[in-house]
Amino acid sequence: MKSTLGGLALLCLVAGTPVRAQDSASESTDSQKPSAVRVSQRDRFAQLAVVLEPVTLAPDAKVDPDMEADCRFEEALGTDVGKMLRHYHLGGGKVKGTEARVLRISIVEVTGKTGGAWSGSKSMRIHAALLVDGKPEREADMYRYNTGANPFRGTCHVFRQHTKRLGKDLASWIKNPSYKVDNPMLDEKDDSDVEVNGAPSADLGASATAH
The rounded average pLDDT for each run of 10 residues, N- to C-terminus, in the chain (211 residues) is 47 46 45 45 66 94 93 95 93 68 95 71 93 90 81 81 94 92 70 43 34 26
| pLDDT at site 146 | 85
Q: Per-residue b/e over 74-113, b at no fewer than 16 CB within 10 Å? A: bebbbbbbbbbbbbbebbbeeeeeeebbbbbbbbbbbebe
Does residue 89 belong to any structural domain of this protein?
yes
Does residue 15 belong to any structural domain of this protein?
no
Does residue 115 belong to any structural domain of this protein?
yes
| pLDDT at site 165 | 93
**Which of 94, 106, 122, 105 is closest to 171 using CA atoms?**
105
| pLDDT at site 96 | 57
**Which of 154, 150, 106 is closest to 128 using CA atoms?**
106
| pLDDT at site 148 | 64
- Ramachandran angles phi, psi of 178, nearest 5°: -90, 5
| pLDDT at site 92 | 78
d(CA 174, CA 163): 16
Full-model pTM:
0.68
Does residue 30 belong to any structural domain of this protein?
no
| pLDDT at site 210 | 27
Does residue 169 belong to any structural domain of this protein?
yes
Does residue 71 belong to any structural domain of this protein?
yes
| pLDDT at site 114 | 73
Does residue 107 belong to any structural domain of this protein?
yes
How many structural domains compose the chain? 1
d(CA 166, CA 173): 10
Domain that holds residue 109: 49-193
Does residue 35 belong to any structural domain of this protein?
no
Looking up residue 172, the CATH number of its domain turns out to be 3.30.160
